[in-house]
Amino acid sequence: MLRVGLTGGIGAGKSTVAARLAELGATVIDADRIAREVVEPGTDGLAEVVEAFGEDVLTTGGELDRAALAAKAFADDTSRARLNAITHPRIGTRTVELMGQTSADAVVVHDVPLLVEGGMGANYHLVLVVDAEEDLRVRRLGESRGMAAEDARARIAAQATREQRAAAADVWLDNSGAADVVRAQVDALWHERLVPFEANVRLRRPRSPKPPALVEPDPTWSAQAERLLARVRAAAGDKAVRADHIGSTAVPGLVAKDTLDLQLTVRSLGEADLISEALSDAGFVRAEGHWFDQPQDEETAPARWDKRFHYGADPQRPVNLHVRSAEGPAWRLALLFRDWLRANPAEAGVYADIKQRLARAHAGDASSLNYSEEKQSWVDAAFVRAERWAAETGWEAGTG
């Protein structure tokens, strides 16, 4: 199953995207609809709401008077928390029930208006955000709901900002144009990303090797990595000692392959094996075989350099997840190398030149294996200089 979070500000046209995804074959679970279900007449949810807020939150027909409830429940933080304590567990239980009823190969789209506000992005393999210009959203709300412009702008202002949604978005869908334009975007997303992503996770399909193609630094790499690390942490649970963005994409301004390197540090490789399936289910498929880092000294037992390796299953966001034990030295060395390059632009420049030269030399290779092996000799020597820098500056790994 692939879990996709769908959100967007009021009036952005999220329903258009949800409807098209359903037409394509997605299972759409509407959080607003569930929120209404759990307080329908005859439910224990409605009974508890009435007990908490009084009989006057009901209509004469015995249904919930949402305006009357809002006037009481949103009057202060305590009242809001009381309402949330009644509805949120029931909404969560019903959502899990619906997800459990889907097929193993389903693409489940969870339509959640307040996904960003609730910090829920780590629960999904991908988050889709639907957006439109504010003036257009105000006009749509007036036409579809008869909402006054000032009320519409107040509702928009009360929700997450565009910047906050952008930070949460794996996919940004601009719905400012005609409906058929965004539908075409959704069609491409479905066929080129969602369907193969689901299959990659379910079948534990490894990523195909690619030649070493370098790209100019992308200023969004850090934000992309943080979204992915949140999913890694959620999957690893209490087995995670720390999770970090490492490698060239973690060094601002450095050319790199457009592949995000992430590191999960656990207490032991035995614990890494315990969370292997959880990480694979979360979209980071474990690679078969014996994986290890290049030993950097003769004192450390070779087994201490062993690691587990997981590939990102998203066909449009290549990821390498290195799972390393805190019992070995490699986790610290990866962080040191990153921080040393960040602090020493001259060394980062030399590293960039070497990477570009080797990338040109191996442009015709089927994979990046030879490129990586030749680069390693410079990296090994750089580790020595980085250790010297760490001793001089008092560098420590910090927190993940």
Known binding-site residues for ATP equal: 11-16
Q: How many CB atoms lie within 10 A of CB 283?
A: 27
Which two tokens mark 348?
């980062």
Query: Which residues, at least 6 apart from 378, have a Cβ–Cβ distance to it below 8 Å?
Result: 351, 354
In 43-76, alpha helices (H): 44-53, 66-73
CA distances in angstroms from 114 to 44, 120, 233, 343, listed in the order given = 24, 9, 22, 39
Measured distance CA(35)–CA(251) in Å, rounded: 44
Element (H, E) at 256: strand 256-257
Binding residues: 11-16
207, 4, 202: which is closest to 105 by C-alpha?
A: 202
Q: How is residue 56 written in tokens?
A: 């006057």
Candidates 206, 202, 227; CA nearest to 115 is: 227
Q: Residue 39 contacts by C-beta under 8 Å, 6 or more apart in sequence? A: 45, 46, 49, 64, 87
Of 113, 107, 128, which Cα lies nearest the Cα of 23? 107
